[in-house]
Amino acid sequence: MTPSGNDLDALAAEFSALRGTLLATAYRLTGIRSDAEDAVQEAWLRLAGLDEDSRNEIRDLTAWLATVVGRICLDRLRSAHARREHYVGQWLPEPLVTQLDAPKRTDPVDEIVQREDLRLAAMVILDTLTPEQRVAFVLHDALSLPFDEIAAILECSPASARQHASRGRKALADADPPPRSSLEEQRQVLERFLAAILSGDIATITELLHPDVVLIGDADGKARTARQVITGPDKISRFLLGLRRLHPDDALTAATFLLVNGDLGLYVPPHPGSAGYRRLDAHLQVMALRDGRIAAIYDQANPDKLGAVPPAS
C-alpha cells in the first residue's frame, strides 16, 4: 500500500526539513553538485515509494536517509576514482557558486554554502581519502550515523568502519586547512593581488603569498591552467605573471567577485583575444588565506564544472 495524499504531504515536509543537511552531506561525499542533488532526489523517491508498513518500521528518518544517500554516493565515488585515472591534470570539486548580495532564493544550495566543512580548502582534503574513508568519516562526523550502519554501507565490520573514519579524521586534522577569513579581508587581499598582477608588480604578488602557498588548477585538458600543483611564492608569482603577459588588460579587468562555497571567488570570463594575445578561457579562482596571506589558489577552468556560474556575472 503506497502513502495516501496526506501521508505523502507529511512525509515530504519531513524530508524537506532534512534536505539541506542531506545535500551538504552528499556534496561532501562526492564533490559534484549534480551527483549530490541526484543522490538526495533518489533518496526521496525511495522513501516515497515505501508502503505504509515499511515506513512505520523507520525509527530514525535522518539515519535511514543518510544510509540511502551514503550507498548512492559510495557507488559514485568508486566510479569517479576509476574515471580519474584518465583525467588530465589535477581534479578540484565542482564549485558551489552564488552571487554576492543576491536576494534570498529557494535554492537549497543557498542554505549550505556558508558551512565551514564545505569550503574548497576542506573539500580538497576530503578528495585525498579513499571512498571508504570519506563515507565513514562524513556520515559519522556529520550525521552521527552509528558504525554498525556505516559498516553495512561499506560491507565491512564495524571495527573497520571505525578505522576508516579515524583515518579520514586524521587526514583532515593533519592537513590543517586555513580557517575562513572574513569576506572583507578576502576582498582586500584579492583586490591588491589582482592589481599587482595587472601592473606586473612581482614584489607585491610575492608579499601577498604565504610561504607554503600552493596553486592547483583543474581543466581536464579542456582549458589552460597548471597541470601540476605549483608550490612556493616565487614559482607561483612567475607562473601568474607569465600568463598575464599572454592576455590583454581588458580580459582581466572584466573579472567579477562571486561567492564560491561561501568564500570570495574571482570569475574571469572568457575572452577571444586580440592581435598579439591569446584567447582566454573562463576561470573561477578561490584563494584561501592564512595569516592575511594567500595560502592556496584553486583555479577552476574545466568548463564542465563552471555551469553553475550565475549568468549575470
For residues 203-213, average pLDDT: 97
- Helix (H, G, I), strand (E, B), or coil: what is residue 300? strand
Nearest Cα to Cα of residue 264 among 295, 298, 287, 243: 287
Ramachandran quadrant class, 144 (left: phi over 0; alpha: psi -120 to 50; beta: rest) = left
- Contact of 271 with 247, CB cutoff 8 Å: yes
Please name the residue that has the C-alpha cell 608569482: 237
**What percentage of the chain has pLDDT greater than the value 90?**
74
Q: Residue 85: its pLDDT value, please?
A: 83
Write out the DSSP string of 262-293. TEEEEEE--B---TTS--B--EEEEEEEETTE
- pLDDT tens-digit readout, 245-259: 998 888 888 899 999
Q: Does an H or E element contain 246, and which?
A: none
- Contact of 130 with 82, CB cutoff 8 Å: no
Pick the CATH number of 183-305 from 3.20.20.450, 3.10.450.50, 3.40.50.2000, 3.30.56.10: 3.10.450.50
Hey, what amino acid is at 226? A
| Residues forming a β-bridge with 260 | 97, 263
Q: In whole angstroms, give the CA distance from residue 47 to residue 56.
A: 11
What secondary structure letter does DSSP report for 117? Answer: G
250 or 229, which is more confident = 229
| Residues forming a β-bridge with 266 | 257, 285
| Residues forming a β-bridge with 288 | 296
| Residues forming a β-bridge with 215 | 230, 297
- pLDDT tens-digit readout, 103-162: 666 677 777 888 888 999 999 999 999 999 999 999 999 899 999 999 999 999 999 999
**What percentage of the chain has pLDDT greater than the value 70?**
95
Q: Residue 3: its pLDDT value, please?
A: 53
Q: Does an H or E element contain 30, and which?
A: helix 5-30
Would you say how long the chain is, in residues? 313
Integer CA distances (angstroms), 70 to 99, 111, 130, 179, in order: 30, 21, 14, 27
Q: Residue 1: its pLDDT value, please?
A: 42
Q: What Rg do the C-alpha atoms of the chain give, in angstroms?
A: 21
266, pLDDT greater than 80: yes
For residues 72-88, average pLDDT: 90
Q: Residue 136: its pLDDT value, please?
A: 97
Q: Do domains 5-89+130-172 and 183-305 have the same CATH topology?
A: no
Could you tell me the strand order of the sheet in which 283-290 lies? 97-98, 256-260, 263-268, 283-290, 293-300, 209-218, 230-231
Q: Residue 295: its pLDDT value, please?
A: 97
Domains of the chain: which residue ranges?
5-89+130-172, 183-305
Q: Does an H or E element contain 178, and which?
A: none
Looking at the domain that runs over 5-89+130-172, which CATH code has it been given? Answer: 1.20.140
Query: Would you tell me the crossing angle of helices 147-154 and 158-175 to the nearest 10 degrees?
Result: 100
